[in-house]
A and B are shown apart, each in its own frame.
Chain A
Amino acid sequence: MSERKHKISERHMRLLRRVLLGLIALAIAGTVVFGVRAAISSRAWYNAPPEQIEGWMSPRYIAMTQHVPPYVIEDTIAHGQDLMHRKTTLDDIAFAQDTDVEALIIALEMAIADFKESKRD
């Protein structure tokens, strides 16, 4: 630790207080803005619809979020490959199969709807 004298000049003390006041003003503004945003996003979270299937999702993540067994996903998009035990996304699968990710998503949504319908019967 330095052994210099710790007495700060009056000019530096005024500057320090101004900086602290600026930080307080910034923090209060941030509290208001993010308080409103947090309230809105909390409400949105409470009323959030089930997550839509997207290209970044892995097959197992889709099975979990759509509340279906993994084979429902695998039977629709795997075409004989073992996709449920690999780290991969729908985007990667679509690229590997030379198909459009939107087409995969539509096929999955139909398979999931069919499975849920069959469980209802």
Chain B
Amino acid sequence: MIDFFFGLVATWGLIIVAASAYFSCLAVPVPTFAVMLSGGAFAAAGDLVLWQVLTVAYVAALAGDQTGFQLGRLGGKWLDKFLATRPSRAALFARAQVVVDRWGSTGVFFSTWAAAPLGPWVNFAAGAAGLSTWRFIIWDAMGEAIWVVGYVMLGYYFAANLDALTVLVADWAWLLTAISLAVAASFFLLRSKQ
């Protein structure tokens, strides 16, 4: 399966890098980390140009995140109207909006690289709960810079063994996601008891 995506990057290059970065931000199940690693690896081999891989991946990831955020915003408006006649649930949503207003920037930043599999859902939630667009853009841009540069450069510098690198990076990425989720959930559980 992963080899299929390596072949696509080898043949179609930047188009696959862009499509993968964009659609993965909308929760489409694409092995984007493998595409980013292979983009870096093929740049090291001379099939692609490094700065082009970095730029295309970065712009596509930002566009994907922004699309998810705007979709969330549309959903949030609908939810707001829907909850108008349900005061108990509306209070829960209003509380979620307060939490997102306070912690949303941090969540967006870390969900783009430390807990990347959760990224699309955080984008939807941030949009739905009404996080400021400029705060989203700034923190998302900083987080995506870490994610794109990190993965592409790992592929670039360790290009000689892409298969083993992909397995290694996938395991570490999921480990980081699980730790981030444990820390965030524990933090909010402790706060809810205060």
**Cα A54 to Cα B98 with chains together (Å):** 52
Cβ-neighbour of A60 out of B47, B162, B181 (below 8 A): B47
Interface flag for A119 (CB, 8 Å)? no
**Cα A17 to Cα B161 with chains together (Å):** 44
Interface flag for A65 (CB, 8 Å)? yes
B177 and A30 contact, CB distance less than 8 A: yes
B167 and A41 contact, CB distance less than 8 A: yes
A-B CB pair tally, cutoff 8 Å: 146
For chain A, the bracket of interface size reads: 35 or more
- For the complex, would chain B's binding face be called helix, strand, loop or mixed by DSSP majority? helix
In the complex, what residues of A have CB within 8 A of residue B93's CB?
2
User: Which positions 3-34 of chain A face chain B at CB distance < 8 Å?
Assistant: 4-9, 12-13, 16-17, 20-21, 23-24, 26-31, 34
In the complex, what residues of A have CB within 8 A of residue B185's CB?
20, 23-24, 27
Identify the 7 closest CB pairs spanning chains A and B, nearest first: A30-B178, A27-B182, A56-B7, A34-B175, A27-B181, A23-B185, A61-B45
B97 and A24 contact, CB distance less than 8 A: no
Q: Please, could you name 12 A-B residue pairs with CB atoms under 8 Å apart, sorted by A? A: A6-B98, A8-B95, A12-B89, A16-B92, A23-B185, A29-B178, A30-B174, A31-B178, A38-B171, A64-B44, A65-B160, A87-B13
Contacts A54-B3, A64-B45 known; A24 to B189 CB distance under 8 Å?
A: yes
Contacts A34-B178, A58-B42 known; A89 to B189 CB distance under 8 Å?
A: no
In the complex, what residues of B have CB within 8 A of residue A48's CB?
161, 164
Interface flag for A35 (CB, 8 Å)? yes
Given contacts A31-B179, A55-B3, 11 further A-B contacts (CB under 8 A): A4-B94, A8-B95, A37-B174, A41-B168, A54-B3, A58-B42, A60-B45, A65-B161, A87-B12, A88-B11, A89-B11
**Cα A8 to Cα B99 with chains together (Å):** 13
**Cα A63 to Cα B47 with chains together (Å):** 11
Interface flag for B30 (CB, 8 Å)? no
**Cα A55 to Cα B3 with chains together (Å):** 9
Cβ contacts A38-75/B at 8 Å (1 or 0 each): 10111011001011001111101101110000000000
